[in-house]
Structure 1
């Protein structure tokens, strides 16, 4: 595993079939990184790019319209990605038969059927693109690309997501060497770099992972950020914030009681059961509320009503990746607090507090969120 030169993002690991690229995204963060990669890369290479927004696990609301207006992508598609549970035919081959050989034999069929299930829902011919970038290829789109024998670049699901979850290994416990070999033959599918058709697996930091495939490439997000122009930052703000002036006003205009307090922003996450999550963030708010003006930035997929639960606390209800706050000229907070969200790419906070898994252990059975550590034992 070696660090790949930064100019890798401009050429990929294969010669383009065409000068067209496509990014397949499942979350706001995915879209943010896709836009950043395209803004940086398009100044130094020819061709155009499209983007596909999967609606399987996320509501992008009006983001599609703002992406169209930005002109970063030539076409914006939505994809009604089909989970295996939507098909009895597929799920028939997703049952434990009590024997590793029988399970692997039926998995060959499962891999093919789940990929085939996507055919009527794919919004464009993905095989026509010279470069295909897929975030979270563990979702059914990965099975589709395997089924259609389409080569692609896999991109890590979230910043340093391999630090807390070795996704490929955790999803393939038992007979790991055999399963890897079968994936390289295209018989079954394994995400995050192990598929026969995955050209490379892109991560922010090689060291921030438990284990990685041999085709890993490192493209630090900080280096991408440094290459963004003032105009690029403006474009990112206009894409991801529906009303940036109102948002900045909400963040910076203090009430009389908070006038002399510094700002602390707490990032939430869709982790734990709702009652556990509520108790955990209540404790964090209590830790800071006397000395700080508390701002809560909910994760786009976190559905807990923080305004109701914490009256008097500033809650940013807009749905956007927190990274875009760093694109707002002059915006800063005094302190940023995160439980497990990786915040190495945060540039708008004077001080960062990362609570980590030891803190989470106090609220939830460690076996739930320490799966990778359990796997290594």
Structure 2
């Protein structure tokens, strides 16, 4: 069995594909990290240490745009390889997986006629009620011509060079015919992790060791109201101090939004600061404990969160009122 190739653009995709690679025959597998993956170089070092994948860094930002005219696919392929420093050897791999085929790397796969498998980017995305990107693409006057000829770019699984589309539940997906769909439940994957798999994930996404005593801990999930132009940094700091003082029980963990540049280690010197680029699924499925409380302010982050006994969602007004208490 040959190794697989996994192409990732987000930390969530890295998490899912690392776990899938660990269960697939033919390893170590190859994982391409786009420049869109946060802190890609450091992440690649930790991924390589698992022995499950060998990483390749590809800077898509070096690619200037689309090539048109005679032999466009061939010319685009060669230009990509020269500028981005990576060349696909399709014969080396059993399967090629990508989550975002509308990306530069997705275009490259189509130029290579790679026969790739499109993976869901989030849980159940192929089952969502709003699929206007797909329906709008199919309504374009040149859609049939592109599909039949294989020339030009089509995304979201519509390219003839996409051989399969994964769905959380293929029996409920109406976007494609059954011959192009396969069920691959990422939810079931994460629910079935072994202790060894959870430990491997922690070595990749946690850059500091967890405290020995973490039972009964509180997880604070702040977001940046400063970046949204709603308050000053000083006011936001005071608000989250007040929220923690009111609701934190046991050891305090903080996992913030990737856009939030607040120095939470300075704000809470005794807290465990989790990587802001870590996917929330690590908290839900890969820690050796659950939290007593998870607290956030005016955010949807707790919607699918399952790793806390109690979830507290404060409005911005409620959080700010704590400052004066």
Give the TM-score category using the shorter length. Answer: 0.7 to 0.9
- Look up the match of 1:127: 90
Q: 1:37 aligns with which of 13, 17, 20?
A: 20
Contact 1:156 1:192 in 2 (8 A): no
The SS at the match of 1:20 is: coil
- Look up the match of 1:275: 228
The SS at the match of 1:244 is: coil
- Look up the match of 1:4: none
Count of matched residue pairs: 300
Q: Which has the higher contact order (CA 8 A, sep 6+)?
A: 1
Counterpart-to-counterpart distance in 2, 1:286 and 1:208: 45
Task: Note the residue ranges of structure 2 that are not aligned, 5 or more in a row.
Answer: 316-325
- Look up the match of 1:320: 278
- Look up the match of 2:56: 77
Change in CA separation of 1:199 and 1:245 when aligned onto 2, cut-off 3 Å: same
- Look up the match of 1:219: 184
Q: 1:66 aligns with which of 38, 46, 64?
A: 46
Counterpart-to-counterpart distance in 2, 1:199 and 1:226: 27
Task: Note the residue ranges of structure 1 that are not aligned, 5 or more in a row.
Answer: 1-17, 94-105, 254-260, 360-377
Contact 2:164 2:181 in 1 (8 A): yes
Q: Which range moves more in the overlay, 131-140 or 187-196?
A: 187-196
Give the deviation of 1:109 after TM superposition.
9.1
- Look up the match of 2:320: none
Change in CA separation of 1:297 and 1:138 when aligned onto 2, cut-off 3 Å: same
- Look up the match of 1:3: none
1:241 partnered with 2:206: yes
- Look up the match of 1:28: 11
Deviations 1:113-154 (A, max 9, x none): 655542222534341212001121111111111111110011
Q: 2:33 aligns with which of 44, 53, 64?
A: 53
1:307 partnered with 2:272: no
- Look up the match of 2:110: 146
Contact 2:5 2:32 in 1 (8 A): yes
TM-score (norm 2): 0.72
Deviations 1:233-284 (A, max 9, x none): 11111122122325x77xx59xxxxxxx973532659xx99325769x96x9
Give the deviation of 1:307 after TM superposition.
3.4
Q: 2:291 aligns with which of 309, 323, 332?
A: 332
- Look up the match of 2:322: none
- Look up the match of 2:195: 230
Map 1:115-264 onto structure 2 (within 5 A).
115-120=77-82, 121-128=84-91, 129-161=93-125, 163=128, 166=131, 168-169=133-134, 173=136, 176=139, 178-185=141-148, 186-204=150-168, 212-214=175-177, 215-245=180-210, 252=214, 263-264=218-219
